[in-house]
Structure 1
């Protein structure tokens, strides 16, 4: 709803190979061009190269579009955001990565009293509500941290928007019917999987968000060593069948099928 990323489809996972030669081959296959060594870091590509490439390449042919939309990018985005929030909660952490646009707009949607003035988006996704908000709400720009802390301290029960996408809150013309086609999987309690990242999607703890009655949550899942995995250093293996990940990949498949 917020970013327009699909939540159904294939896992964003596969092989990682710590070899510049393999990276060249893959980039040539995917993009038709290869980065220079100065545009890489280890076996990864710097974001600046990918951003420049995005400006040059136009995704227009139907084959490329169908190839991209078959993956669950929403699931991967949420997995990395959960991981980033977990790390940011540590006392010695000074910064955060992940999709901060998703985090910010989620907070503004659920806590309207914290958000700048929004306008109804003319097109999907709902993040467009606050596009160029700096120009439309000068007052918000000068609010201090103390203001937001006090607003959270004074939070009343009815100020949190549990069902944020109901028709009385979102213009039905903005969200097409096909967005809701797979909405049944939104409340599935499954692991979120994206390469090295495994996070638990504990929807049983926020059932009201999906219009359900909140019951007693299940015992939280212990991700054990999978939660400590990082994508640094040589990682020459297939994450789908990696010993620490194969169990969670299967749990995701079973959870989606049975749900």
Structure 2
């Protein structure tokens, strides 16, 4: 049974979480994570997956990039246009045919015309998400969602810049601090010695320690209504 579970996890890595452009293979670097079956649940695959997505988007923004890989399902779940398209299809199925004749341009204009009071800033509060999508026990640790920390996945280090979208966590957005400079760490690639222990590597130890202390870096200011941006921020 453990062998089947490990195979299933590797399949998820390949198809959902850490897929590459080949679409048919998964990197060997994940194999050691499955060696000790009892420790599988201790890894933060969610943060690693998000780091992988950020790195993918970074590479895709280059002018010479022709393909994109990574956990793109996360993009679809958070994309407003996709959500509206889903509503359009669902209403078509339910017989509300007027949505079936609206084009993508119509929905884009609807998004452009949104007023501040119509935008849902805190989209992931308990009463807004179906419990089948995000189980209730996940919210027990939801405070760490706002941690401003590095996200670590082997050679990949990406910054979780929650201080730049504070309103999503029901805080007033002030002027953000200078963005974090990952410097040469952001150019790290998976080459060289194949047995490198990334969490203890000299280039990564500093970032790993910040991640380890992530509960010290959550947004902790008093919650305030997010409908009123600061004048200095708007300026």
Query: Same fold by TM (over 0.5)?
Result: yes
1:80 aligns with 2:52: yes
- Given candidates 155, 165, 175, the residue that maps to 1:206 is 165
User: How far has the Cα of 1:152 moved from its partner?
Assistant: 4.7
1:165 aligns with 2:154: no
Cα distance in 1 between the residues matched to 2:105 and 2:138: 38
210-219 or 91-100, which deviates more: 210-219
* More helix as a share of residues: 2
User: How far has the Cα of 1:215 moved from its partner?
Assistant: 2.5
Runs of 5+ consecutive residues of structure 2 not aligned to the other structure: 8-19, 27-35, 219-235
Cα distance in 2 between the residues matched to 1:200 and 1:182: 20
User: How far has the Cα of 1:177 moved from its partner?
Assistant: 3.0
Cα distance in 2 between the residues matched to 1:100 and 1:140: 26
User: How far has the Cα of 1:88 moved from its partner?
Assistant: 1.3
Cα distance in 1 between the residues matched to 2:59 and 2:83: 27
- Given candidates 55, 59, 62, the residue that maps to 1:90 is 62
Q: TM-score, normalized by length of structure 1? A: 0.59
Cα distance in 2 between the residues matched to 1:140 and 1:105: 21
The 5 Å alignment of 1:81-120 reads 81-108=53-80, 114-117=84-87
Q: What is the aligned-residue RMSD (CA, Å)? A: 3.7
User: How far has the Cα of 1:164 moved from its partner?
Assistant: 1.1
Cα distance in 2 between the residues matched to 1:196 and 1:140: 46
Runs of 5+ consecutive residues of structure 1 not aligned to the other structure: 1-26, 32-43, 51-62, 119-129
Cα distance in 2 between the residues matched to 1:228 and 1:80: 13
1:249 aligns with 2:221: no
166-175 or 203-212, which deviates more: 166-175
Cα distance in 2 between the residues matched to 1:140 and 1:72: 41
Alignment CA distance shift 1:72-1:226 (3 Å) = same
User: How far has the Cα of 1:251 moved from its partner?
Assistant: 1.9
Count of equivalent residues: 190
User: Contact between 2:77 and 2:83, CA under 8 Å: does it hold in 1?
Assistant: no
Cα distance in 1 between the residues matched to 2:25 and 2:65: 28
Query: Highest relative contact order (Cα 8 Å, sep 6+), 1 or 2?
Result: 1
226-235 or 212-221, which deviates more: 226-235
Secondary structure class of the residue paired with 2:79: helix
